[in-house]
Amino acid sequence: MVLTRSKKRVAKSQTPPLKRAEKPQSLALKRKAEKPQALASKKGGAKSQKTPPLKKQKKEAVVEEDPSEDDEEEVSDDAAASTDVESDDGEEEGSNGLGSSGFFSDDDGEENDDDGEELLGDDFLEGSGDEEEHSDSGSGSDSDSDEGDIEKESKLIDEEEAKEEEDAKAELLDFNKEAGDDAFRLPTEEELEEEARGPPDLPLLQSRIKEIVRALSNFSVLRPNGASRKDCVEQLKSDIASYYGYNSFLIGALFELFPPVELMELIEAFEKQRPTSIRTNTLKTRRRDLADVLLNRGVNLDPLSKWSKVGLVVYDSQVPIGATPEYLSGFYMLQGASSFLPVMALAPQENERIVDVAAAPGGKTTYVAALMKNTGLIFANEMKVPRLKSLTANLHRMGVTNTIVCNYDGRELPKVLGEKSVDRVLLDAPCSGTGVISKDESVKVSKSLEEIKKFAHLQKQLLLAAIDMVDATSKTGGFIVYSTCSLMVAENEAVIDYALKKRSVQLVKTGLDFGQDGFVRFREHRFHPSLNKTKRFYPHVHNMDGFFVAKLKKMSNMKQASEDDDEALGTVDEADVPSDDDEAEAMEEMEKPKKTKESKEGLAKSKESKKGKKSKSKKGEDPPKIKKQRKNRTEMRMEISQAREEKRKAMREKSKEKQ
């Protein structure tokens, strides 16, 4: 419907013309007033008497227009009248369900024919009565159709987005293939020969390492033309070795432990120094007080982490952190964060007997003494004489009074201190140091497979000796903590697995909430399932030195296989790194009695066979022979220990004479 307006005048008593400012209200009221008129005209009801004046007013209002200023005052009266009509006829409209579209279409046609009227664009935008009737009568069907349309549109949008994502992925893969083919390829043999003739081109090596690592991360897509995975891995090993200065053995061993991407993170972490950390000596001060004092001296520090209550990490310092009055007074100890872990796993209790097999320079020993509050007894053993000075100095500086320093081979401690004589043992075993390359870069080129095997043999025997010293019936203890600063499986999981087979011990949880679990299987090796209770720490993951920690609980004091252990002892003595002449002589002395025993036993057997004695007498004679063999073995061991002690005394005397 289109509403029009005329230019003729009309009396003030009639309905005023519509104005643009009041258009929405007046138009709506007029429409509501006209609907009852249409109903009344068709039905001819009783209320038809009111319709003629209203219709007349409507026609005259539409036909003529009064531009006078008084029209605005009469609009309110007309609105009131229209509302009255609406209230009277609202029920008839609802009952009949008839719309106003037909009424408006006829009247509008008559008005357009009778009067030459101008179209109102603004009124047209407001809509007609037909639209209102259609929206009222078909609101349910329209809403259902609208919801169905929205669902269809949303499904179409989702399908289009999924297609776009698939196309983007396919395009990215194609781009990666093209970029990989264009930007990277493995060097030929001729190019490698040319590179070998001159000095290493570090930018070229670095870019090639990145490209190979990228290709290996998604080899099925980024595979270089004509290259296998083995070729890429071998080229990456050689490039890393030449760029970072590693030998081929160590790079190969690390490749077996980590994938290429993680390996590069580890190697980059080895090139950076770990944060400097200090441990508060709780025997003399508290961490808060120490932090306040050091902050006043210009030391920038923070608490180490949530897992440590005594550690502080030092970022920078205006004074030497190892020469402050607090350091000299023994308020703190310079100690790596990874060295806290074995002592925390050991969890020493007050009034216990504890052995630290490899104690120098004393960081772990002083930490144990602080946890024990200077009660009980600690045996701090160190095999190397030059390291005893730093051990004793730190013990005195930190105010430790419950510790005895001794100088023995760790494998002989069960003879010196006695078996089943202590509650707990801490064994931070000597190792290859592959986890602390950031401190000692010589490890990159100095380690080999033979040396790793030697360390593994030594660690196995030290661990067996540590287990023998512990009393399984201890009320508070019976624990052994084994730790190394190595990443090699042969020095960690393999050693623990060996101890589980040789002694009646079992692994327990270390009590450390962080760290990665140890290997249960590694390449062709299969270890005890409980090895997942051990913990591994890596520089690129935990921002500390590479470390391995395991905690054992001794279940029984009985040995499972003593003869195998004796044979292993002999192999380790031969493979020990500090080979001494006295040890070789002692080994010869051990072999001589064995030969004499064998000859005597052979003569005895021949005599018995000639005499033809009964089997009962033979069974009666066998036990004394075994007793004699045991006595001879103990005598030989005592002789070996005496020879070593004599040599050490001679070395000490020589060192004193030189000084």
- What backbone torsions phi and psi does residue 589 show, to the nearest 5 degrees? -65, -30
Distance (Å) of CA 112 to CA 3, 57, 170, 405:
9, 17, 65, 120
Question: Which residue in 510, 529, 540 sits closest to 259, CA to CA?
Answer: 540
Cβ atoms 581, 587 nearer than 8 A: no
**108 annotated among ligand-binding-site residues:** no
- What backbone torsions phi and psi does residue 321 show, to the nearest 5 degrees? -70, -20
Beta strands at 503-508 and 479-484: parallel, antiparallel or unpaired: unpaired
- What backbone torsions phi and psi does residue 119 show, to the nearest 5 degrees? -75, 145
**336 annotated among ligand-binding-site residues:** no
Cβ atoms 350, 376 nearer than 8 A: yes
Where in the sequence numbering do the catalytic residues fall?
485
Per DSSP (E only), the strands in 71-213 are 118-119
**46 annotated among ligand-binding-site residues:** no
Sequence length of the chain is 659
Label residues 213-240 b or e (16+ Cβ within 10 Å = b). Answer: bbbbeeeeebbbeebeeeebeebbbebb
The Cα 475–Cα 69 span in angstroms is 110
Other Cβ atoms within 10 Å of 52 Cβ, number: 12
**361 annotated among ligand-binding-site residues:** yes
**362 annotated among ligand-binding-site residues:** yes
Cβ atoms 425, 354 nearer than 8 A: yes
Report the DSSP beta bridge partners of residue 522. 525
**363 annotated among ligand-binding-site residues:** yes
**620 annotated among ligand-binding-site residues:** no
Question: Which residue in 10, 129, 132 sits closest to 78, CA to CA?
Answer: 10
**409 annotated among ligand-binding-site residues:** yes
* 412 dihedral zone (left: phi>0; alpha: psi -120 to 50; beta): alpha
Q: How far is CA 621 from the centre of its chain?
A: 65
Binding residues for S-adenosyl-L-methionine: 358-364, 382, 409, 428
